[in-house]
Structure 1
Amino acid sequence: MLVAPKPKEELIVYLSTSHGAISAVLMTKRDKVQTPVYFISRTLQGPELNYTLMEKLVLALVFAAKRLRRYFQAHPIAILADFLVEKPDEAPPHTSVVETLQEPWTLFIDGSSCVDAMWCGLILD
């Protein structure tokens, strides 16, 4: 069951990615229970299927920021990008997995403009 957020209530965005799709769910926390507010998803096509996991997560964030703009403008937002879907049977046929030591990353959303005049600019550090 979806709920309407209260004015200025903090919302949580969970980003999800798989080989062929990206999605985001907007949640609110009430009485220690997270309840969904909105869900969006999109099938990846063409070159997007070859994006790295990080590129797919950034694409999911940009997609969510565009589709959920009114929520992003009216509420404080917490973004969680570790809600990943892993389905080995959907992996591309010639994919090899290489384990690397990764540093934690920080996402900054500033007020810069972009080509389509949106208000979201991203810096991954």
Structure 2
Amino acid sequence: MMNLPTVQAPIHKKPLLLYLATNSYAIGALIAQKDGGGIEQPVYYINRTLKDAETCYPRAERACLAIVYASQRLRHYFLAYEVWLMTKSHAIKVLLQQPILSGRISQWLLQLSQYDLRMGAPRAVKSQAIADLLAQFPGEEEFPLDDEVPGELAMAEELREQWVMKFDGSSTARSGGVGVVLYHEEDKAVELSFKLEFPCLNNTAEYEAYLTGLATALEMGVKHLKVLGDSNLVVCQTKGSFSLKEPSLAPYRVMAQKMEKKFLTFEIEHTPRNENRFADA
């Protein structure tokens, strides 16, 4: 396998399949989904190098770490879909189903309890092979693991003040870009930007940016959010004034609706492009 396959957009209401790969120096994860013909297609894959004490974790704990990392890195997928962990490892199954645990494992399991995560036996060799290959060539991505357990945030950090999110997506014939800014009048701005490594339409890029911003705000513990964007389609579909006419955008709209409902207060407004430059992709 010299080239990794192109990722596919997820199909609404179909479960996602999570494949793990670990070795002594890295972890990797692949999210796949069966297409209309029942063939598993990759949706997203991630990996990273193990750090410090993580290299000494037993194999089952490294696998659990990979699940937690995937759930945080791809949170919007875990929130919007039923996810099946595809593994033959009895040790992993026992670890995840153990009723009484302590330390980091208990914290990880509490984090994972917020998702619809199930277990199944892998049937596609190709998907596991991709995950194994990814773990052989880990990236140097700096995505810090969040140790917070749901419901454990201090009252002082409930963030009752309203946060503002600006988002922007752009596309070319071969790739796209995403830009997101989250800020509060008394805090520094949180800026995110990255390249989409797949060809997409501009509306798709806008939704990728929008979902990234929502997921980031939820991870930060933001409760009250005001969104500003120059995509008339995303803003109007969120408000319900535009109907959904592009089937390819349906999964994005479903994920967005689920995340929007998680805020105590939520509003979205259209802003002219010249006032959205702070978030330009």
Residues 1:61 and 2:61 aligned together: no
Structure 1 residue corresponding to 2:113, chosen from 110, 113, 122? 110
Spell out structure 1 runs of 4+ moving beyond 6 A: none
Aligned position for 1:50: 56
TM-score normalised by length of structure 1: 0.69
Per-residue CA deviations over 1:84-121 (Å, capped at 9, x if unaligned) read xxxxxxxxxxxxxxxxxx7x626355239x952558xx
Residue type of the alignment partner of 1:19:
S
Distance 1:33 1:2 in 2: 13
Distance 2:41 2:50 in 1: 27
Aligned position for 2:78: 72
1:80, distance to aligned residue in structure 2 (A): 1.7
Q: Is the 8 A contact 1:57 1:81 kept in 2?
A: no
Residues 1:37 and 2:43 aligned together: yes
Residues 1:7 and 2:39 aligned together: no
Distance 2:95 2:60 in 1: 12
Structure with the bigger percentage of helix? 2
SS at match of 2:94: coil
Give % identity: 32
Q: Is the 8 A contact 1:66 1:118 kept in 2?
A: no
Q: Is the 8 A contact 2:60 2:95 kept in 1?
A: no
Distance 2:63 2:47 in 1: 12
Gaps of 5+ in 2: 1-5, 98-111, 116-145, 152-281
Distance 2:147 2:56 in 1: 23
RMSD: 2.9
Distance 2:65 2:87 in 1: 11
User: Highest relative contact order (Cα 8 Å, sep 6+), 1 or 2?
Assistant: 1
Residues 1:19 and 2:24 aligned together: yes
Q: Is the 8 A contact 1:11 1:76 kept in 2?
A: yes
Aligned position for 1:122: none
The structure having more radius of gyration, on CA atoms, is 2
Per-residue CA deviations over 1:14-52 (Å, capped at 9, x if unaligned) read 011011000100000121211000000010021111110
